Amino acid sequence: MKKSERAEALAISTRLMAELVSFSIASVGDEGANLRSAIGKFLSNFHQLIVDHVVGTALFACFEQARMAGATVKSMNNVRSAMFKETPAFPLGLAIVNAAVIFSFVEQSQIIAKIEFKSRNEASALMDEVAAIIEEIKMNKADSFVSRDYQNFVGLAALLIQHMSATERQLPRIVNYNFAANLPALYLSNRIYCVGSRSDELIEENRTVHPAFMQRNVVALSS
């Protein structure tokens, strides 16, 4: 492998790692330190990782650490967008870009799988976002993926959409209520849900300033 190819791949990896660690990392716990350590080892040992044929394994470990440190769907979108801007001239650089695109989607899938949605509307909105992500990856990278990687991506995308669709069907819808006066949250909880224990839910959902005076236009779950 030429020195120029290694240099290009390292430059791409350096920009990738800067983007991977750009989200807000919690100041408590070991996850943030583990992420920075994994990135530091990846970049400092990059040439040896090439020799040992374990660049992909080490790269995926960095993505896993990012998720455990609090990376979000949005931050992984930013990583992928940065990779779309790369124009590698050599196979290794292209392989790293493509791996990062796939890994970002893998991490997003794991993040989404653990989300506890409050309503069908919330799940539907994210499902639309995921569909756009899948289409964006296909539009930008389908031609440069090797066949096996592309098939794995398509399979994962189908499983994620299937999971979200099944989750959405089990969730309540958001319903809009219009009242003639500003009523207390406790009263509205009893009126809408027939129990008073969901008043805090109404307050949070509607971002009410004072629980004794809810908005006249109230958003609530259907069940």
Q: For 64-111, how does the pLDDT look when each residue is reduced to its tens digit (9 = 90+)?
A: 999 999 999 999 999 999 999 999 999 999 999 999 999 999 999 999
Query: What DSSP state is assigned to residue 198?
Result: T
Query: What DSSP state is assigned to residue 214?
Result: -
Residue 83's alpha-carbon distances to 9, 34, 70, 111, 207, in angstroms, are 12, 23, 20, 20, 38
Per-residue confidence (pLDDT) for residue 173, from 0 to 100: 76
Per-residue confidence (pLDDT) for residue 170, from 0 to 100: 82
DSSP string covering 133-195: HHHHHHHHHTTTS-HHHHHHHHHHHHHHHHHHHHHHHTSPPEEEEE-SS---HHHHHHHHHSS
Whether residue 202 has pLDDT greater than 90: no
The chain-wide mean pLDDT, for the chain, equals 91
More confident residue, 190 or 106: 106
Whether residue 28 has pLDDT greater than 60: no
Per-residue confidence (pLDDT) for residue 201, from 0 to 100: 80
Place of tokens 């990687």: 149
| Least confident range of 38-42, 76-80, 205-209 | 205-209
Residues 6+ apart with CB under 8 A from 170: none
Which tens digit of pLDDT belongs to each residue from 60-70?
A: 999 999 999 99
Number of H helices, E strands in the chain: 10, 2
For residue 181, name the pLDDT band (cuts at 50, 70, 90): confident
Per-residue confidence (pLDDT) for residue 44, from 0 to 100: 97
Whether residue 219 has pLDDT greater than 90: no
Mean pLDDT of all residues in 42-49: 96
